[in-house]
Structures are given as structure tokens and as C-alpha cells.
A and B are shown apart, each in its own frame.
Chain A
Amino acid sequence: MESKLIAAKSEPLWNTNNKVISIVCALVVLLFTLPLFGLNSFYLHLFIMIFMHAVMAQSWNVIAGFSGQISLGHGAFFGIGAYATSFFYMQYGITPWISIFFGMFISGIFAILIGIPMLRLSGHYFAIATLLIGISFQVVFQRWDLVGAASGLWVTMTPEDSWIALQFHSSKVPYYYVFLIFFLITFFVVWLLSRSKLGYRLRAVRDDPQAALSLCINVSNYKIIAYVISAMIMAPMGSLFAQYILIIDPDRVFNIEISIIVLLITVLGGIGNVWGPIIGASILIPISEYSRIYLGGTGGAVDLIFYGLILMIICIFRPNGLISFIPKDILERKKQR
């Protein structure tokens, strides 16, 4: 109990070292200028995937890392986001810029509906229930004729690049910037969240629900808030992904692999830490994309073997993720006496 309280006090983000801040700023500037150096489309794709997966993992980090509830069906919100933009664009011609928010809203509603009964469950019960939810969504969308059932939605192509329809056929650079901006916004929001009162209360709920309850923290309400925030971070990535590939079907956007990879990235990088998903995504996504190129992606599932292996090794040797290799006093400003 005491050690937990100390751990909460010395959370590295509260005092961020000036050096860390300047490194982060330099990296952001670098990321913004990167396309100007004329990257080819493979590298642009790689970066887009890193941004996307980092945000997805960050979303999972909010519910699992901050509030301690393990969701094994987070792909559901990704799929909702993807279907929201494509469906509203194809049926009513609403621009994705607006329907991204529809997707967020619908995901949020679903998170509340799912969260109210299920977040009363703890631990394994919740994990199993979310696993079932993830698969249920896939089953329902595979048979729902309005959204194209199993063949999915083929987004109507605009004849040329269009910012309004958020479709770019000639170059990936605009997608790069869109994903980059969403990535930065999300990280800033989650960083603020982790420093806010809400973040501390969530961690209290995670570490000791009884003690949190005795401090008048409404445990189940806070879990639901975390779940809704997490769902609303996940949905826009689904929307943007749908705009990026322009063909979505239930097997792709509700795939259980999505729920697996967000978990994997977060655990690899460091769970419960804002920097964890960035580290995890920037290591894992290149590995996975390169292994897909060199070992072949069709049915071989070689990258999944690595995922499983990495996950087990991390769990055995580094349960706090790769971030635990960085000494804490680097991330933390020395206490002034």
C-alpha cells in the first residue's frame, strides 16, 4: 500500500526534465519537416502506420494503463469509427471532417452503454466480456445489410484529391500530416489527462479501489469516464484509416488483431505511461511492416509469431515495458530542496 502511494507520487510526468522537453520539441519539428526531404511512399506509409498505432495504443493505455481495466475488444471502437465516416459519406455525402465526430460520439455512446453494466465487473470478468464484445461487433456487421454486410463498404472515390472528402490519390503527404496532427493532439490530451486530477484519481482506482472509495472517489463512474475517453480516442483512428485505405469490411476493421496489437504495443512500450505507446509503436510497426515485406504477408502470419513471442518475453522479463530501461531520474526533474 505504501509503496503504491510512493509510486503515484513519483510519476515521472509531473516534473518533466527540460532536456526531455527540448528533445520532444526537436522531434516534433523534425516530424513536420520530414516529408520535405522527399520520402518515398513506403516510408510515408510506415510513419502513418506508426502514428495510427501509437494513438490506438494510447487509447488502450487510458483504459488499461490508467484505470486498470483490461479490454480485449478495443477493435470494436476502431470499427465503429471506420464505418461512421464511410457510411455517412456514401449515404448522405457528409464530409469525413464532420463524421469523424459522429464516429467519436457513437463510440462514446457505446462505451457508456457497454461500460455501465460491465465496468462493475472486475478483472477477468471484464476482460472476457470485452473479448466477447469485440467478436459480437464483427458478427453483427458481417450480417448487417445496410452497411454492406460481409463485403463491407467501398468508399466512393473522388476524381481527384480533395480535402473536403479527405481523399488523396496522388500522394501520401497530406495523409501524413493529417495523421501526424491527430497523433500530436491525442498525445497532448492524454499527457494533460495524466497530469490532471482525473488522471490521479484513475490511477488511485487502478491501484486500490477500496482506498479510492474511502476517499470519496466514485470508482465505477471513473472507470466509465476512462472507457469513454478511450473509445473516443480510438474512433477517429478508425475513421482516418477508412479514408486512408477507402475499402473497409468487417474482417478488416473489427479484426481481433487490432485488439491484440494495441495491447502488444502498450505492454511493449510501457503500460500506464504516456510515452509507452510511442516507444512501442515506433519499434513494433517497422518490424511488422518489414517482416510483411520480406517474409510475405499472405496467410503466413509470421509477424504474429513475433508478436506472441515478444509479448511473453516482455511479460516475463520487463513487465513495465521498454520504458523501464530509461532511468527515472532522466524523465524527472530533480526535486528542489
Chain B
Amino acid sequence: MTSEIILQAIVTGLMMGLIYALIAAGLSLIFGLMEIVNFAHGEHLMLSMFSSFWLWSLFGLDPLFSIPITILLLAFCGILTHYFLIRYILRAKMLIQICATFGLSIFIRSIAQLLWTPDFRNVDKPLLEGRIEVGSVFIGQPQLFASLVCLLAFIGLYLFVTKTETGLALQATAQDRHAAEVLGIPSNKMFAIGWAIGLGCVGVAGGMMANYFFIFTDVGINFALFAFVAVALGGFGSIIGCLYAGVIIGLVESLGGLLIDPSFKLLYVFVIYLLVVIYKPQGLFGRY
């Protein structure tokens, strides 16, 4: 066990962590806005990867260039989700909300399985390929690019939410939707925007990952689990918390896999989750 291997693991974990952070940020935004956990988040990620894949396989569009289309598709999907499902369960009990989004996740995944079979697919010869060597550490180019794009998207999301008028309106709705409505901010529209942006984040992450990740119908489950953990770790509703939490999870996953046993990655993340929610139930940066 040399320091180079550990350094390699740290770099890998960091790059993965940035992607987890963006996926989690979408989840966190939606939760902060209407206190609904989107249990179909992983399935939405799967959809974005498939959208990238099909745009490549049917139209020959490289995942790099199809990103805007993927984002738009996912944002549209978010708006549809809001109008056909979430709108009706806003006032329901938490249990019903969990069941409804859980039902959506089963529905999307099994439809995908029926349409596209559970085969593993990947994008052949994308524009970004190969790896670069920095010192003794190998960095895959698509991975590096994906994590940088995710970081940029994350910063963009953060600036959007904290600086623009729409972002502030979103925050106002998150804090008190009735008071916001009195001030002329239509909460229903805000919720739809929140869903569009939340799933747009997933679109970025999925589209970038399509470059180097296997694409199959169950791909979202693990990412969604890590995103749930990241959201709880960072504090439900805190966007900046997701960044730290995502990176922590990425590092724990890759270092734990290196130092102990790679087949139990999920368990290490689970242990971290338990420790955090037991000792600091509001998460690292939570406001709840």
C-alpha cells in the first residue's frame, strides 16, 4: 500500500463526490421547497443517461453536445412529474408522499426495463476518451471533465438560488409558502420551477456520466441511495451542505473500498450516515 495508491483513491473519490453532490443538490432543492423526498431520483438519473445514450445511438450526437437537450428533457420531465403527481400530494401525509414517489420510481424503472431490456449499454468511442497522468496519478479524462462540469453546474445552481430574483422567490417559497403567496409569488409555479431545476441538475450529471459509465435500467439505485445519504448528511434543504456531503461520501466510498473491501462500499457510506444522523440529526449544515 503506497501513498500513490491512496492518492489515486482520493482523486477518484473526489471526482465521484462532485457528481454525487450535484445529484444530491437537485434532491435537496426539491426537498427544501416542498418537503417531499423524490424517491424516484435515481430513476430520473437513469432516464437522463438513457436520453444521452439514445441521442448518441440514434442521431450520432456525442454525449458532450447532447447535454443541453438532456437537461431540457429532464427539466420537462420534472414539470410533468409536478403537474401529474406531486401537485396532488402536497397536502397529503408524509407516508403517502413517500409511497407516491416510491411508486413513481417503480413505474419508471419497470417501464424502462420493458422498453429497453435490462441490458448493459455504453457509448462507444465518445469524443472524450483516455486518461492523463499527473505525477503518478492517472485521471480519466471523461471522469475529470464530468466532475468539473458538475462543479460548475453546482456553482451555477448556488448563484442562481442565492442571487437571482427567481432563486430568491424559490427560497421565499421554501421558507413560508403562504407568506410568499401573499407577496405575489405563485407557489405552484415555483414548485414546477424547482422540479425543473432539480431534475435539470440530474440531467447534467447523467449526461456527463453517459461518457464513461455503463447505462442500464438499475443504474440509478446506488446513485440515488448516495444522494439520499448526501442530502441527510448535508442537512435536508441545504444546497451547500450537499457539496461537502457528496465529497465526503465519494472519499469514504473510494478509500473504504481501497483499505477494507470494495464489495461493501454501501456499508461504509451507511455507517457514516448513521453516525451523522444519530449525533447531528439536522445534518452538517441543515436548517431543520
- Interface residues of chain A, those whose CB is within 8 Å of chain B, are 64, 68, 70, 72, 117-118, 120-121, 123-125, 127-129, 131-133, 135-136, 139-140, 143, 260, 263-264, 267, 271, 299-302, 304-305, 307-312, 314-316, 319
Contact of B113 among A143, A263, A299, A307 (CB under 8 A): A299
B58 in contact (CB, < 8 A): no
Distance in Å from the Cβ of B90 to the closest Cβ of chain A? 11
B37 contact set on A, CB distance < 8 A: 124, 127-128
Q: Which of B212-259 contact A (CB under 8 A)?
A: 225, 228-229, 232, 236
B159 in contact (CB, < 8 A): no
A70 contact set on B, CB distance < 8 A: 94-95, 98
Q: Closest A-chain residue to B267, C-beta based?
A: A136
Known: A68-B95, A125-B232. A304 touches B102 (CB 8 A): no
Contact of B99 among A118, A140, A302, A315 (CB under 8 A): A315
B195 in contact (CB, < 8 A): no
Other 10 A-B pairs with CB < 8 A, given A263-B102, A299-B118, A308-B109: A64-B95, A121-B278, A124-B232, A135-B225, A302-B114, A307-B110, A308-B105, A311-B103, A312-B100, A319-B92
**Of B164-172, B173-181, B269-277, the one touching chain A:** B269-277
A129 near B105 with CB under 8 A, answer no
B266 near A139 with CB under 8 A, answer yes
Distance in Å from the Cβ of A230 to the closest Cβ of chain B? 15
Instruction: Provide the bound-state CA to CA distance between A304 and B218, in Å.
Output: 14
B137 contact set on A, CB distance < 8 A: none
Ranked 9 nearest A-B pairs via Cβ: A308-B107, A311-B103, A308-B106, A304-B110, A315-B100, A301-B110, A312-B103, A316-B88, A128-B228
* 0/1 string, B72-98, CB within 8 A of A gives 1: 000000000000010011001111111
Pairs A–B under 8 Å by Cβ, sample size 23: A68-B95, A124-B98, A124-B232, A125-B281, A128-B225, A128-B229, A129-B277, A132-B270, A139-B264, A140-B267, A143-B263, A143-B264, A260-B102, A263-B102, A271-B95, A299-B118, A304-B106, A304-B107, A308-B104, A308-B107, A311-B103, A315-B92, A316-B85
Instruction: Provide the bound-state CA to CA distance between A132 and B222, in Å.
Output: 10
B7 in contact (CB, < 8 A): no
A140 contact set on B, CB distance < 8 A: 264, 267
B155 in contact (CB, < 8 A): no
Distance in Å from the Cβ of A276 to the closest Cβ of chain B? 13
A310 contact set on B, CB distance < 8 A: 103
Most chain A CB inside 10 Å of its own CB: which residue of B109, B225, B270: B270
Instruction: Provide the bound-state CA to CA distance between A68 and B94, in Å.
Output: 9
Q: Closest A-chain residue to B106, C-beta based?
A: A308
B111 in contact (CB, < 8 A): yes
A118 near B274 with CB under 8 A, answer yes
Q: Closest B-chain residue to A69, C-beta based?
A: B95
B99 contact set on A, CB distance < 8 A: 263, 267, 311, 314-315
A139 contact set on B, CB distance < 8 A: 263-264, 266-267
B228 near A131 with CB under 8 A, answer yes
B96 near A319 with CB under 8 A, answer yes
A117 near B274 with CB under 8 A, answer yes
Instruction: Provide the bound-state CA to CA distance between A268 and B225, in Å.
Output: 26
Known: A124-B94, A129-B274, A319-B96. A72 touches B102 (CB 8 A): yes
B57 in contact (CB, < 8 A): no
Contact of B106 among A129, A136, A311, A315 (CB under 8 A): A311
B162 in contact (CB, < 8 A): no
Distance in Å from the Cβ of A241 to the closest Cβ of chain B? 22
A301 near B113 with CB under 8 A, answer yes
Instruction: Provide the bound-state CA to CA distance between A260 and B103, in Å.
Output: 9
A301 contact set on B, CB distance < 8 A: 109-110, 113-114
